[in-house]
Chain A
Amino acid sequence: MRRVGLIAVGAWAALMAGCAWIAWHASYTTDLSAFLPRSPSASQELLVEQLRQGVVSRLILVGIEGAPIPALAALSQELAMRLAREPEFAYAANGSEEQLAADGAFLMRHRYLLSPGVIPERFSVAGLREALDSDLADLGSALGALTSRLLPADPTGEFMRVVELLGADTGPQRRNGVWFNSTGTRALLLLQTRAAGFDIDAQERALARIRSVFDAIAAQQNASQARVRISGPGVFAVAARAQIKQDVSRISLLAVALVSVMLLAVYRSPSALLMTLLPAASGAVAGVAAVALAFGSVHGVTLGFGATLLGEGVDYAIYLFTNSAPGSGLRRSLARIWPTLLLGVLTSVVGFSVLLFSQFAGLAQLGLFSMVGLIVAYIVTRFVLPELIPDHFGVRPPAALGAAFASLAVRARWLRIPLLLAVVSSVVWLASRGHALWDDRLESLSPVAESEKRLDETLRRDLGAPDVNYLAVAVARTLQGALEAAERVGAALERARRAESIDGFESPARILPSDATQRARQAAIPEPDTLRDNLEEAAQGLPFQPRLFEPFLKDAEAARQQPIVTARDMAGTALALRLESLLSQHDGGWMAVLPLRAVREPAVAARELSGLNGVHLLDLKAEANTLYRGYRDQALHLALIGAAVIAVLLLAALRSARRAAEVLLPLAAAVVVTCALLSLGARQLTVFNLVGLLLVVGVGSNYTLFFEREIFPRSDPQRTLISLVCCNASTVIGFGLLSFAHANVLHAVGGTVALGAFLSLVFGAILAAGRPVRG
């Protein structure tokens, strides 16, 4: 081996070792937020934060099934108790009385500071008389028992007002003391993880904990027939990652196997096969390492391309080997084809490089991965392979194969008219589809399987868990500022509720009123003597026992003197959790979130909120879809820019508009027809199809370049034809297998590229055939 060669091989080995180490230690994610913008607008930022780590992202819904009610209830009790002690969970609710009792005690103790009914008029003679009259009527009602129990301490009904306001008495029905679905077949629990939804490793640990604790309890209670079913955003993320991992590893293996079989049949040389796989594998490892270094973590979608980079990464070596007969001199062949290969690599790399400018981390990762992967595969082919193989090495593809391809290629010119018709009808079809061509919903990117979605919907309905679309968000510098803002938003939303444009809303300020509001309520309670006089006057002529209301007088005075209620006072209650989910620290400030229920007229709610400073009304669904449309439009723009840059590059390299057009035209035709075929039967295209089309241009340009520069200009094009067909077949195998993946991302990209790459080759042959031979 020459000195230079030694250096090349040594450098390659060191680089690969380093990249492999980085790739091995990289963290892998699959959450949707990698496909959300990096520098979004204020409201998009809030959306992204909600999706990544808001309370909604941290909920886990649990159902226990498959046993009689008492057994399920016992399992639920034990599971909730054990999980509440585990570090992964902020809380585990199953509706048991102990949990409700803690909330009830807190609300009862602080009812005068929490109830909006506490205003000065409430404690005047007229206000108290009204309250006592209503109490008397309530005593006669079916629910009189509760009134008579609360009456001495709370004649004005502040406790019930707070309970109703916070909806603390709603929830799923209870059987044997815990939450059940309506048919009693499933015990229900609601968990919240401490870790954010995007932290998939932590979510996975939490899920594993639920299962292991459940299995232990089921074994203890001899309820092995009972099953636990778990759903929620974290569950989806974990499942998606596992699915993508499984898909990627299985498909990679299968692709390597199939490509190997094909190449073995053509090369009839195992060592040529190994040498062909080497550049592709090097490229994939380097690509993953580059993404891990640049982005901190690798998205599963990016990883999915590892399997398929094989399809293009092997191309350079295939060109090299199929063009080298034994003894003809490997280096000579390399010297002959490497300018064409370089141009091919450059067009692909330029095409993908535009993705780096994408706002979306996911797309940028794809771009970086593909660029680094291709460049490394090319460099390894150019500088490392020749050092590892003796120069006289070569392969003898079956002669009949080359002859068959050559005769097909010559006859391909007869297909020019059908090709023209196909392109024209595709353009007409695509134009007629208009905007319906694209699926504008962000969910179209979601990797969640249908069956998992259904389980989630069922559990959510059973539990009445929040499934909000509209959020009012108020941002302020301090906690008190955020609570006061939430109170102003609440007042505005209350007007919208009275106008029946919304059904209701939640607010952190209902659970924890601002200090100012609490002080105003304290000030609304009269001095003890005044209150006693007012009460005695109000009770005149009513049949209440004398001195019945002593507890009330005592509690009211205590409330007047007590310290302001803080978040600390509600530690250990479910309310603390609800508060935490609605109120969070945010970039050095505080953010209050008010989810709206059943919004009928968003415009009315928006108008009520429009005068308030620092308040946004988020339509999560619309915002997400806008985000996605922006994402898609940007991907489309970038793809067009990429195509334009490729055109300019070819023009500069080939120094002829006609020759550049000969390379580009088949590609354009392939993209148009692929697009039309994909959208047949009212199927809509997603951004993943679009990315696939960009890959088609990047990959397909290599084929048409070879047609233009290497095949028809030569008198004996058979070997180059074989190499082209092999390259194309390996790409179609790699991406075609990907289209069988479960994850819709891989499925969409795989199908698009397999189809588009195949068409590029065929169209390239059709358009190139019959051109005059250039010398």
Chain B
Amino acid sequence: MIELGQVQQARARFVERRYLKVLKSPLELSGTLAYEAPDRLIKRTLEPRPETLTVDGERLVIEAQGRVRTLRLQDYPVAWAFVESFRATLKGDRAALERFYRLALEGGPQRWQLSLTPRDPKMSALIESILIDGRKGRIGKIEIREAKGDRSVITVFEDTQ
């Protein structure tokens, strides 16, 4: 986590697969991720429909189909779970993570897996757990398991630039 905390800026591409109970086959989305210390995270989906999600502090801004919506992050638990786990992990902010989740870290610095389980009953009614795989100072994969059986797997690739 100490190593992660030194990340000032990170850019990456991602591919997300959403396994939803309402669908027979998973949805596939792709785009870019950008992190700026300490609190800013931008998830830009390019395919299949462009959408930009910017999180700055507690504010969530969604831009899609020419519409901009500003929301409070805490009102959208699933987005919050993703953002907080990603952001706090990169920030190395173990205290922030501990506040919302019970943590379990496996593996060594070369290859690690962090699993998060929500503490708040309201949150755990929606999110079962979050698994984050990484190597050294980079996150490789995030899997969000929702309580009702839906799950998302986000694979993060080294930025090609």
B-binding residues in A (CB < 8 A): 136-137, 139-145, 148, 151-152, 173-174, 543-545, 548
Contact = CB atoms under 8 A, between A and B. Distances in A.
22 contacts: A139-B22, A139-B23, A140-B18, A140-B27, A140-B29, A140-B51, A141-B62, A141-B64, A142-B43, A142-B60, A142-B76, A145-B78, A145-B146, A145-B150, A148-B22, A148-B150, A151-B22, A152-B22, A174-B75, A543-B24, A544-B24, A545-B21
Nearest to A142: B53
Given A139-B20, A545-B22, 19 more contacts: A137-B49, A140-B29, A141-B62, A142-B43, A145-B76, A145-B77, A145-B78, A145-B150, A148-B21, A148-B150, A152-B22, A174-B75, A543-B24, A543-B25, A543-B27, A544-B22, A545-B21, A545-B23, A545-B24
B89 interface: no
B23 A140 contact: no
Interface string B50-77: 0101000000101010000000100111
Contacts of B22: 139, 148, 151-152, 544-545, 548
Contacts, number: 59
Query: Which A-B residue pairs are the 10 nearest by beta carbons?
Result: A145-B78, A543-B23, A142-B53, A543-B24, A543-B25, A137-B49, A140-B27, A140-B29, A142-B79, A142-B62
A141 B27 CA distance: 11
Nearest to B77: A145
Contacts of B85: none
Contact of A139 (B18, B53, B75, B126): B18
A148 B149 CA distance: 12
B51 A141 contact: yes
B108 interface: no
A174 B76 CA distance: 13
B76 to A, nearest CB: 7
Interface string B64-103: 1000000010011111000000000000000000000000
Output the residue of A145, A173, A174, A544 with the most chain B CB within 10 A: A145
Nearest to B47: A140
B151 to A, nearest CB: 12
Contacts of B18: 139-140, 144
Contacts of B76: 142-143, 145
Contacts of A548: 22
Contacts of B64: 141
Interface in B30-50: 43, 45, 48-49
B130 to A, nearest CB: 14
How would you classify the secondary structure of chain A's contact residues: helix, strand, loop or mixed? loop
Nearest to B71: A143
B5 to A, nearest CB: 26
Nearest to B51: A141
B86 to A, nearest CB: 13
B62 A143 contact: yes
B62 A140 contact: no
Contacts of A142: 43, 51, 53, 60, 62, 76, 79
Nearest to A549: B22
Given A143-B62, A143-B76, A148 B48 contact: no
Contacts of A148: 20-22, 150
Contacts of A139: 18, 20, 22-23, 27
B27 A173 contact: no
A136 B22 CA distance: 10
B48 A137 contact: yes
Output the residue of A136, A142, A173 with the most chain B CB within 10 A: A142
Nearest to A145: B78
A525 to B, nearest CB: 23
Contacts of A136: 27
A605 B45 CA distance: 41
A179 B106 CA distance: 41
B83 to A, nearest CB: 10
Contacts of A152: 22
A181 to B, nearest CB: 14
A140 B25 CA distance: 13
A467 B48 CA distance: 43
Contacts of B60: 142
Interface in B101-116: none
A423 B161 CA distance: 86
Contacts of A545: 21-24
A143 B76 CA distance: 8
Output the residue of B21, B23, B72, B146 with the most chain A CB within 10 A: B23
Nearest to A149: B148
A474 to B, nearest CB: 32
A648 to B, nearest CB: 71
Contacts of A173: 72
Nearest to B64: A141
A135 to B, nearest CB: 9
B23 to A, nearest CB: 5
A545 B26 CA distance: 12
B24 A141 contact: no
Contact of B49 (A141, A145, A151, A544): A141
Nearest to A155: B22
Interface string B138-161: 000000001000100000000000
A173 B75 CA distance: 10
Nearest to A175: B74
A46 B43 CA distance: 52
B45 A140 contact: yes
Interface string B112-132: 000000000000001000000
Nearest to B28: A140
A183 to B, nearest CB: 12
Nearest to B52: A142
Nearest to B152: A144
A543 B28 CA distance: 12
Output the residue of B22, B43, B49, B78 with the most chain A CB within 10 A: B22
A139 B24 CA distance: 13
Nearest to B58: A173
Contacts of B29: 140
A145 B79 CA distance: 9
Contacts of B23: 139, 543-545
Contacts of A543: 23-25, 27
Nearest to B76: A143
B123 to A, nearest CB: 13
A148 B45 CA distance: 19
Contacts of A137: 48-49
B24 to A, nearest CB: 5
A369 B49 CA distance: 75
Contacts of A145: 76-78, 126, 146, 150
B41 to A, nearest CB: 12
Contacts of B27: 136, 139-140, 543
A141 B64 CA distance: 9
Nearest to A146: B76
A639 to B, nearest CB: 56
B15 to A, nearest CB: 12
A151 B148 CA distance: 14
A148 B23 CA distance: 10
A174 B74 CA distance: 9
Contacts of A544: 22-24
A740 to B, nearest CB: 50
Contacts of A140: 18, 27, 29, 45, 48-49, 51
A137 B20 CA distance: 13
A140 B53 CA distance: 12
Contacts of A151: 22
Contacts of B72: 173-174
Contacts of A144: 18, 20
A141 B82 CA distance: 13
Nearest to B78: A145
A140 B29 CA distance: 7
A544 B23 CA distance: 4
A252 B31 CA distance: 78
